[in-house]
Amino acid sequence: MGGDAWAMTGAYQADLAAAFRGEQEKALAEDDHGFGSRMVEELWRDPEWQEYIFTGGTGTVLDQAYAVEAGSTDDGPCMRPLTEDEIRAWCPGGRPTHDAWEAALDSGALEYPGRGCGNCTVLYEEGRPARIAYWGVTCD
């Protein structure tokens, strides 16, 4: 079985790690995947949750346990912001819009990360930060 690619957007916050954690809590509130009302940090300490994620996953930001800094070489399961150079490789102006992000993913100009990993970047509207794009690949 191979990992499944997924993509979504979430609310903008200047602190990308906090925004990521907020999107995880939102996703968990929408669907707890049968694990009851627990916080994300609690779930990641549960071997049953880990097995659930590593053998199928959710296809959302819940599939990553923690956020790392841009440029980190950690191989997951983590969410990593793109570096400025990585953004400019597919968006020369450095301020991608939602449409530019989707087009880059669709064309392959922007690659999905390896299994169990996620990436994120700020999306802009009229030159201002508006959303955060998240995309990744399940572990399975």
Q: What is the mean pLDDT of the chain?
A: 94
- Cα–Cα separations (whole angstroms), residue 118 to 38, 71, 77, 125: 22, 13, 8, 23
**Rounded-to-integer distance, Cα 106 and Cα 102, Å:** 6
pLDDT in tens, 66-91: 999 998 988 889 999 999 999 999 99
Instruction: List the strands of the sheet with 118-125, edge to edge.
Output: 5-11, 128-137, 118-125, 78-81, 66-67
Q: For 9, what's the count of Cα atoms within 13 Å in the CB-facing half-sphere?
A: 16
CB–CB of 131/49 below 8 Å? Answer: no
Does residue 129 register a pLDDT over 60? yes
pLDDT in tens, 10-46: 999 999 999 999 999 999 999 999 998 899 999 999 9
pLDDT in tens, 39-70: 999 999 999 999 999 999 999 999 999 999 99
CA 137 to chain CA centroid, nearest Å: 9
Write down the pTM of the prediction. 0.94
**In degrees rounded to 5, what are phi and psi of residue 26?**
-65, -45
